[in-house]
Amino acid sequence: MRSDAMKNGPERAPHRSLFKAMGYTDEELERPLIGVANAANEVIPGHIHLNKIAQAVKEGIRMAGGTPMEFATIGICDGIAMGHEGMKYSLGSRELIADSVEVMAMAYPFDGLVSITNCDKIVPGMMMAMARLNIPSLLVSGGPMLTGWYHGKEVDLITVFEAVGKVSTGEMTAEELSELESVACPGPGSCAGMFTANSMNCLSEALGIALPGNGTIPAVDAARMRLAKEAGKKVVELIHRNIRPRDILTTEALANAITVDMAFGGSTNTTLHLPAIAHEAGLKVGLEIFNQISQKTPHLCNLSPGGAHHVQDLHRAGGIHALMKELSIGGLLNTELLTVTGKTVGENIVSSSINDSEVIRPLDNPYHPTGGLVILFGNLALEGAVVKASAVAPEMLRHRGPARVFESEEEALKAILAKDIVKGEVIVIRYEGPKGGPGMREMLAPTSAIAGIGMDKEVSLITDGRFSGGTRGAAIGHISPEAAEGGPIAVVRDGDIIEISILEKRLHLHLTEEEIQQRLKDWKSPEPKIKSGYMYRYAQMVSSASTGAVFRE
C-alpha cells in the first residue's frame, strides 16, 4: 500500500511512535490509511455542519476496515464575500485548496482520500486535487440548503440580493428587507438554487467521482449522513480495486458532465472549473466543446435563478441520475464509463426514473431546445465569453446598444442603484478578470440590482469578470482576453455600439479592426490593484478565463 512508505519496517519505528502519540493502535496502522479532507468551518453556511458529515465518513471507513485520518482546508462563502474586497480572493482560493490537499496527501502518503466539501471554489479545488494526486478518491458534499418562505412564496439568497434593488426603487421597505433576510436562508447547506456550488456538486455525479444523490440530497436529510457513511465504505473498496480518479475523469466523462450541465442550466462558473479539473487530469477541454454539446442538448430543468424550481425539487423529481437516464434515452451520454460505485454510468442509472415531469422535463418537451450555457465569440471576445442563456429573457437574446463603461464593479453598482442607467445601454465592467481583478470577482450585486430596479429586460451587462450562479439577465462574463492583458474590452469607450447575439453566439464591437488596433497601441496597462501577498502572486501566475484560470505552466 502507498502508506507503507511511512509506517512499515524497523526504520519507520519513529514514525509509528508519533502515530501512537495520537492514540493510533498497531491494528489501525496496519489497515489502509485514508485521508479525510474536511473543509468545515464556521464562516460558510454550507460548511457549518461538515464535521457531522466527516464523522459519518470516518464511521464508514472504519466499518470497511480502514483507518481515517482527518485534516482541514480553507473555504470562502462567495455570498458573504460578494461585493467587497473579499471576493477578489475567492477564485484564487481554489488553487490554494487544491495545493493544500496535495501537500497533505504527499507529506502523508495516504492509500485513499475522501474530500468533504460543499460550496463555491472548495468543490472544484477538491476535484482538482483528486485529479492531480490520482489516488483512490471520492467526493462527498454537505448537500443543498432548503428554500425559505416569505409571504407565502419560496425564497432563496438571490431573492435577498434582488430585494436590495427593490428597496432603492421604493418597491420594498427596509423593514420588509429585514424580514426577508431572516427567512431566506433557513439552515445549513449550499444555497438552494442551481448556483455554482450545487452545479459542481451535481456534476460530481455526472463525472462519476461521487455517489448517487451527492448533488441533490438536502443538507438536513438523514439520507445525507447515510451517503457519507457509504462513501467512507466505498473508498476502501476503491483502494482494494485500485480504481483511481484518472480512470474515471476521462475526456468522455467530462463530455457527459457538460451535457448534464447544459440540461440543468448550471452556473457559468462551470466553464472555468471543468477545464481546470481536466487540466489537472492531463486533459484539455476548450470552450468550443460547450457550444458543440449545448447545440445538441435540450434544457430540461429550469431551476433558480432562471426558473421557479430549486435543488430540493430536483431531488424529489429523481435527482441527477433521473436526468441522466432521460439524456441517455436520446443517446446523449456515454453510459459505458466507470464511476466510483465500481459500476458504469449505465448500471448506475438503470433503475432511475422521473417523478415530476415539470422539474425534469422529457426530451420531447424541453424548456429550451438547446443547452443552458452559451459561449460567445467575436472581436470583443477573441477567446470567448460565457452567458447563462437559460436565465436570459427572450427579448434580450439579441441586443444592440451604446456602451456604458465602468472600471470596476463598485463604480457600476453605484450608478445602477442611483438609477443612472439608460434603457438600451450595454454596461461594460472591466479590469475584473483573473489578472486585473485580481481574482475575477463574481458580481452578483450589479446583476441583482439591475433585476431589482426592473431593467433586466432593458440593459445588458458584459465583463471580463464573472457572475454568480445566481445571476439572471443578459449578463455576459469571462470576456477573454481580459482588459488587464490588453484585450479589446480595455479600449471600449462610452457610446461605442456593442452588438450581442446569444442565438448566433456572437459578441461584436462596432469598430473597424484598424480602430481597435490603434486604440490598443495607445493603451497602457494599469497599476495592479493589489500589490502584495497571495493575490499579487496569483495575478502574476494566472492564465486566461478561457483556459480555466489555472496557473501558467
Q: 175 by DSSP, 3-state: which?
A: helix
What's the CA dihedral at 496, 502, 505, 510 to 10 degrees?
-10
Residues in the chain: 553
How open is the CA angle 432-438-443, to the nearest 5 degrees? 40
Torsion angle, alpha carbons of 146, 333, 285, 378, to 10: -90
468 is catalytic: yes
Catalytic residue among 468, 480, 543, 544: 468
Among 413, 385, 376, which Cα is nearest to 87's? 413
In the structure grid, which three cell numbers stand for residue 314, read together? Answer: 430536483
Cβ pair 394, 352 in contact under 8 A: no
Closest of 66, 95, 90, 64 to residue 77, by C-alpha: 90
Q: Answer yes or no: are the C-beta atoms of 529 and 433 closer than 8 Å.
A: no
Pairing of strands 475-480, 460-463: parallel
Rounded to 5 degrees, what are φ and ψ at 292? -60, -45
Cα–Cα distances in angstroms (integers) from residue 546 to residues 285, 485, 543, in the given order: 10, 13, 8
Give the three-class secondary structure for 462: strand
Strand partners of residue 157: none
Helical (H) or strand (E) element with 153: strand 153-155
- Total Cβ atoms within 10 A of residue 222: 9
Give the angle 136-40-29 at the CA atoms, nearest 5°.
45
DSSP per position, 466-491: B--TT--SSEEEEEES-GGGT-GGGG
Nearest-CA neighbor of 164 among 546, 464, 447? 447
Q: Point out which residues pair with 116 in neighbouring strands.
A: 38, 140
Catalytic positions: 468
